[in-house]
Amino acid sequence: MSDQIVEVATRARDAAVVLAQATRSVKDAALETMAQALLDQTEAIVAANAEDVAAAERSGTPAHLIDRLRLDTARVAAMAQGLREVAGLPDPVGEVLRGSTLPNGLELRQVRVPFGVVGVIYEARPNVTADAAGICLKSGNAVLLRGSSSALRSNEAVVEALRGAVEAAGLPADCIALVPGDGHEPVKALMRARGLVDVLIPRGGAGLIRSVVEESTVPVIETGVGNCHVYVDAAADLDMALAIVLNSKTQRTSVCNSAESLLVHQDVADEFLPRVVEALQAAGVTIHGDEAFAAVDDVVPATDDDWDTEYLGLEISAAVVPDLDAAIAHIRRHSSGHTEAIVTGSQSAARRFVAAVDSAAVMVNASTRFTDGGEFGFGAEIGISTQKLHARGPLGLPEMTSSKYVVTGDGHVR
């Protein structure tokens, strides 16, 4: 294990002991100070980000990744607002999950406690730096942040602002730290820092997530890619369906809750296909369609790979299905388990869809873009978990805690 990683993780572990004992008022004051620091240092943060963006453009980075990388005054302000929203949320630490008095008189309580040290490995998006730092601090965890090299200057500027603010608020600066070093070796060392790091959260593309899950000896909360589907049912209001498809696909394409696949019931296909194809193409979306969709002008015939692709851009796969069961079967075969939506006026169809589709979030007559910690009222989230153990869906404050049992007696012996 790298000496640098041992050093930074050890300091984080010491800071975590202090942070675990901090009151809500102290943590909230730190979050408010962190938010103000981002606003005060916006110019420096945006200037550092401009260097990262320019380097990415020179290297031919795809447009959707540059969009994830880019910061401006409004996005920095949104990061600061996210921290303030987290400050306004209830503190999960100390919450009693269950409690009872045992027959022998022992008082038993299960309470939420911080993990300790959380490592977050992520790609491109420097807003994750502030989001992760805020969520971890409020939940009592020290955080080790490892962003991609493409966002290094941005992340350094953000973390410099946050560390100074945390220290000014009376908490150890080492509650928040960037993982030092270049290349893949520091990341591998972080993944093997079992005993120093309590949990790892990867946030990024399929390759990054798979690498962390397969190679880490530190426990991992697996976040997932978003091959999200919208299914337009036979009983759908087609005006509503059109609005939901467009919002799910085009409101922001570079995020994991953007729709990547469209399914349409055959009973409404003749009426809906011309409308949705025209609207998507007018928005600049390339459609990879089955035979029914490909019969419409300028629709690209879909390949087998298209059904499993997270495009993260102005592209979507599309198919006509004979019935609800076929839609569910298609989704279960190709979904990444993130978010699926049904548009329908039938309560029975909605119930069947919700019961049969096995994803972290299922939308009924709503856009896939709502799967988000902020939209759910959880504050900024660290990621969307698509696994089933410990946490599933947006990783907000409660999901960033474990629990322990507190047993109180009066001289009890066994």
Q: What is the per-residue pLDDT for 383?
A: 84
Q: What is the per-residue pLDDT for 181?
A: 83
Query: Quick one: tokens of 218?
Result: 């530190």
Number of helices and strands in the chain (H, E): 14, 16
Query: Quick one: tokens of 326?
Result: 């076929």
Say if residue 82 is in the same domain as residue 157: yes
- Contacts of residues 295-302 at CB distance under 8 Å and 24 or more positions apart, as own/partner, are none
C-alpha torsion angle, residues 288, 292, 295, 300 (rounded to 10): 10
The helix or strand, by DSSP H or E, that contains position 316, with its residue range, turns out to be: strand 315-321
Q: What is the per-residue pLDDT for 382?
A: 84
Mean pLDDT of the region 6-32: 97
pTM of the model: 0.86
The answer to whether position 413 is within a domain reads: no
Q: What is the per-residue pLDDT for 254?
A: 81
Q: Which residues contact 357 (CB under 8 A, 6 or more apart)?
A: 328, 331, 332, 335, 340
Query: Quick one: tokens of 304?
Result: 């087998």
The answer to whether position 175 is within a domain reads: yes
> What's the rounded Cα separation, in Å, for the pair 137 and 112?
15
- Tens of pLDDT, residue by residue over 362-391, are 999 999 999 998 898 886 678 889 888 888
The answer to whether position 102 is within a domain reads: yes
Is residue 287 over pLDDT 90?
A: yes
Say if residue 195 is in the same domain as residue 71: yes
Say if residue 195 is in the same domain as residue 248: no
Say if residue 101 is in the same domain as residue 183: yes
Say if residue 207 is in the same domain as residue 306: no
Cβ burial, residue 3 (10 Å; 0-12/13-18/19+): exposed
> What's the rounded Cα separation, in Å, for the pair 13 and 340?
39
The helix or strand, by DSSP H or E, that contains position 180, with its residue range, turns out to be: none
- Tens of pLDDT, residue by residue over 21-48, are 999 999 999 999 999 999 999 999 999 9
- Tens of pLDDT, residue by residue over 52-92, are 999 999 999 988 789 889 999 999 999 999 999 999 999 99
> What's the rounded Cα separation, in Å, for the pair 211 and 61?
21
What mean pLDDT value characterizes the chain? 94
Is residue 218 over pLDDT 80?
A: yes
Q: Give φ, ψ of 119 to 5 degrees.
A: -100, 135
Q: What is the per-residue pLDDT for 1?
A: 58
Query: Residue 146 belongs to what domain range?
Result: 3-223+382-408
Query: Quick one: tokens of 301?
Result: 């015939």
Is residue 4 over pLDDT 70?
A: yes
The residue type found at 188 is K
Query: Quick one: tokens of 233?
Result: 């049912």
The answer to whether position 132 is within a domain reads: yes
Q: What is the per-residue pLDDT for 374?
A: 80
Say if residue 326 is in the same domain as residue 284: yes
262: domain CATH number? Answer: 3.40.309.10
> What's the rounded Cα separation, in Å, for the pair 316 and 229?
10
Say if residue 72 is in the same domain as residue 216: yes
Contact 117, 9 (CB under 8 A): yes
The answer to whether position 376 is within a domain reads: no
- Tens of pLDDT, residue by residue over 171-214, are 999 999 999 887 888 899 999 999 999 999 998 777 888 889 89
Q: Which residues contact 87 (CB under 8 A, 6 or more apart)?
A: 27, 28, 31, 32, 35, 138
Helical packing angle, 127-138 and 152-168, nearest 10°:
30
The answer to whether position 414 is within a domain reads: no
Say if residue 197 is in the same domain as residue 271: no
Phi-psi region of 277 (alpha: psi -120 to 50; beta: other; left: phi over 0): alpha
Cα distances from 383 to residues 113, 260, 344, 397, 413, in angstroms, run: 20, 18, 29, 11, 45
Is residue 112 over pLDDT 70?
A: yes
Say if residue 219 is in the same domain as residue 93: yes
Say if residue 306 is in the same domain as residue 394: no
Query: Quick one: tokens of 132?
Result: 């992760």
Query: Quick one: tokens of 382?
Result: 């660290």
Closest CA to 132 of 68, 209, 58, 202: 202
> What's the rounded Cα separation, in Å, for the pair 178 and 129?
9
Put the strands of the sheet holding 107-114 in their side by side order.
96-101, 107-114, 401-408
Percentage of the chain modeled with pLDDT above 70: 99
36: domain CATH number? Answer: 3.40.605.10
3-state secondary structure of 217: coil
Give me the number of domains the chain comprises: 2
> What's the rounded Cα separation, in Å, for the pair 3 and 15?
18
Q: What is the per-residue pLDDT for 224?
A: 75
Contact 228, 260 (CB under 8 A): yes
Say if residue 37 is in the same domain as residue 144: yes
Closest CA to 268 of 232, 309, 220, 243: 232
Say if residue 160 is in the same domain as residue 20: yes
Contact 19, 142 (CB under 8 A): yes
Q: Residue for token digits 């993130």?
A: 338
